[in-house]
């Protein structure tokens, strides 16, 4: 089969590799119908993720069709259309039993395109299939559910739920890239009173507005703390999300919140930050970090099915799966391409004309 293979820092190619086969009785083999690229894939290509060895097929987000299942798989059968979660769950360890699949001690967690071959490929071996894939209702297209593989549950679980967004809250989101936008979209499920997006780029703030932010602050030319204080009678935001991954934005998030407020870190960090305990110790703050578990996929899928959540705005570009190399170029150059998420379509991808039109309006 063909797949996007990592060959060490800076090196990727669309190669012919061996077809995957069942290795464990809990495995399934899935044909990839629709896939996508994540910022984390770019991190791997930069060499930031040393545990990913050259030769690994990248990708951890896909919708596909089950081809074959191991002897121990009981809940899916060949022919089932399924969403593949970026996080695998053994279903048996203490963390999986608590719904904390991202911390799986039994061989799961984030393994696709990281520790084992991933999902930017024609086929994939899917470990722990019973606990790691989700059947897709027939009336939903691949694209409607694709972003449930990672970005939507990441922002919802690690941001919105950890941050305990409550109706009426002022929610400040530091960083309006795809993760920040997904935080805006899923925060709205709890009807905040005001969503404030903060970013350095006007283009990203324009996206934030399209996704539902109420107030956009460009912090290259303003004082976001002062502006948030002005909006909140001098108290601060109820919740702030860090959605960038650098110390400055984390520190900003801790300054934006009111006494009793919450900071939910969603960003991926490579450095430590300064925690201003000399002021924060009296302010009753809660700070959370987290890996996505994707336990919320069934809930979010119901919301998409009922029309309450529409992730179609993310799909700014589409490529045939065979043009994954080009898709990487477009996604890597988001500043000029405006790419949020690029959709990789295998020969059997399902999608609808209506959605394509929506995308046209947005792009």
Residues 276-305 that bind a second copy (CB under 8 A): 276-278, 280-291, 295, 298-300, 302-303, 305
Per CB under 8 A, the segment of 3-11, 89-97, 176-184, 311-319 that binds a second copy is 89-97
Contact between 269 and a second copy by CB under 8 A: the answer reads yes
Residue 102 CB neighbours (<10 A): 24
Which positions from 15 to 44 touch a second copy by CB under 8 A, shown as an x/- string? ----------xx------------------
The burial of 146, by beta-carbon neighbours within 10 Å (0-12 exposed, 13-18 middle, 19 or more buried), is given as: buried
State both tokens at 277.
């305990």
Contact between 270 and a second copy by CB under 8 A: the answer reads yes
Give the Cα separation of 252 and 178 in Å (integer).
Answer: 19
Contacting residues for 318 by C-beta, under 8 A, at least 6 apart: 342, 343, 344, 345
Per CB under 8 A, the segment of 51-59, 191-199, 338-346, 354-362 that binds a second copy is 191-199
Closer CB to a second copy, residue 206 or residue 268? Answer: 268
DSSP state string for 35-94? EE--HHHHHHHHT--TTSPTTPBP---EEEEEEEE-TT--S--TT-EEEEPSSB--S-SH
Region 320-359 residues binding a second copy, contact defined as CB under 8 A: none
Cα angle vertex 224, ends 219, 230, to 5°? 150
Handedness of CA 204, 186, 362, 82 (dihedral sign): positive
Closer CB to a second copy, residue 2 or residue 283? Answer: 283
Contact between 272 and a second copy by CB under 8 A: the answer reads yes
The burial of 316, by beta-carbon neighbours within 10 Å (0-12 exposed, 13-18 middle, 19 or more buried), is given as: buried
CA–centroid distance for 199 within its chain: 19
Residue tagged 């969603």 (tokens): 266
Contact between 13 and a second copy by CB under 8 A: the answer reads no
DSSP state string for 235-270? S-EEEEEE-S-SHHHHHHHHHHEEEEEEEEE-S--S
Closer CB to a second copy, residue 305 or residue 362? Answer: 305
Classify residue 116 by its DSSP letter. B
Closer CB to a second copy, residue 124 or residue 303? Answer: 303
Output phi, psi for 318, to 5 deg: -130, 145
Give the Cα separation of 163 and 11 in Å (integer).
Answer: 38
Give the Cα separation of 268 and 211 in Å (integer).
Answer: 22
Closer CB to a second copy, residue 7 or residue 46? Answer: 46
Which positions from 68 to 87 touch a second copy by CB under 8 A, shown as an x/- string? --xxx-xx------------
Region 91-150 residues binding a second copy, contact defined as CB under 8 A: 91-92, 94-95, 97-100, 102-103, 106, 130-131
Q: How far is the CB of 174 from a second copy (least distance, A)?
A: 14
Give the Cα separation of 255 and 233 in Å (integer).
Answer: 15
Closer CB to a second copy, residue 250 or residue 319? Answer: 250
Closer CB to a second copy, residue 8 or residue 270? Answer: 270
Contact between 248 and a second copy by CB under 8 A: the answer reads no
Q: How far is the CB of 324 from a second copy (least distance, A)?
A: 27
Per CB under 8 A, the segment of 3-11, 245-253, 332-340, 349-357 that binds a second copy is 245-253
Per CB under 8 A, the segment of 118-126, 270-278, 312-320, 327-335 that binds a second copy is 270-278
Closer CB to a second copy, residue 6 or residue 95? Answer: 95
Q: How far is the CB of 98 from a second copy (least distance, A)?
A: 7
Number of residues that bind a second copy (CB under 8 A): 72
Q: How far is the CB of 318 from a second copy (least distance, A)?
A: 28
């Amino acid at each position: 089969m063909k797949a996007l293979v990592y060959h060490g820092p800076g090196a990727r190619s669309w190669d012919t590799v061996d077809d995957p086969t069942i290795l464990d009785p809990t495995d399934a083999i899935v044909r990839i119908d629709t896939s996508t690229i994540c910022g984390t894939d770019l991190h791997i290509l930069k060499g930031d993720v040393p545990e990913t060895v050259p030769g690994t097929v990248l990708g951890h987000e896909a919708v596909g069709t089950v081809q074959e299942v191991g002897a121990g798989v009981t809940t899916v059968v060949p022919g089932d259309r399924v969403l593949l979660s970026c996080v695998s769950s053994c279903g048996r360890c203490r963390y999986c039993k608590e719904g904390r699949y991202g911390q799986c001690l039994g061989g799961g967690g984030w393994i696709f395109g990281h520790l084992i071959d991933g999902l930017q490929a024609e086929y994939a071996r899917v470990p722990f299939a019973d606990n790691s894939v989700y059947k897709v209702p027939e009336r939903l297209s691949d694209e409607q559910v694709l972003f449930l593989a990672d970005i939507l549950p990441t922002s919802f679980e690690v941001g919105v739920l950890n941050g305990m967004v409550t109706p009426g809250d002022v929610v400040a989101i530091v960083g309006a890239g795809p993760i920040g936008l997904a935080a805006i979209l899923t925060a709205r499920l709890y009807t905040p009173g005001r969503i404030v997006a903060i970013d350095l780029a006007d283009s990203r703030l324009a996206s934030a507005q399209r996704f539902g932010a109420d107030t956009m602050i460009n912090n290259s030319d303003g004082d976001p703390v002062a502006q948030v204080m002005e909006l909140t009678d001098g108290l601060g935001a109820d919740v702030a999300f860090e959605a960038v991954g650098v110390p400055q934005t984390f520190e900003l998030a801790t300054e934006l919140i009111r006494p009793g407020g919450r900071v939910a870190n969603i960003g991926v960090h490579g450095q430590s930050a300064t925690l201003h305990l000399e002021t924060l110790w009296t302010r009753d703050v809660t700070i959370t970090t987290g890996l996505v578990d994707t336990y919320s996929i069934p809930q979010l899928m119901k919301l998409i099915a009922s029309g309450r959540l529409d992730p179609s705005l993310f799909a700014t570009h589409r490529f045939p799966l065979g043009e994954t190399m080009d898709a990487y170029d477009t996604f890597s150059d988001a500043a000029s391409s405006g790419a949020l998420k690029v959709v990789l379509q295998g020969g059997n991808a399902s999608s609808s004309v209506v959605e394509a039109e929506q995308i046209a309006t947005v792009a």
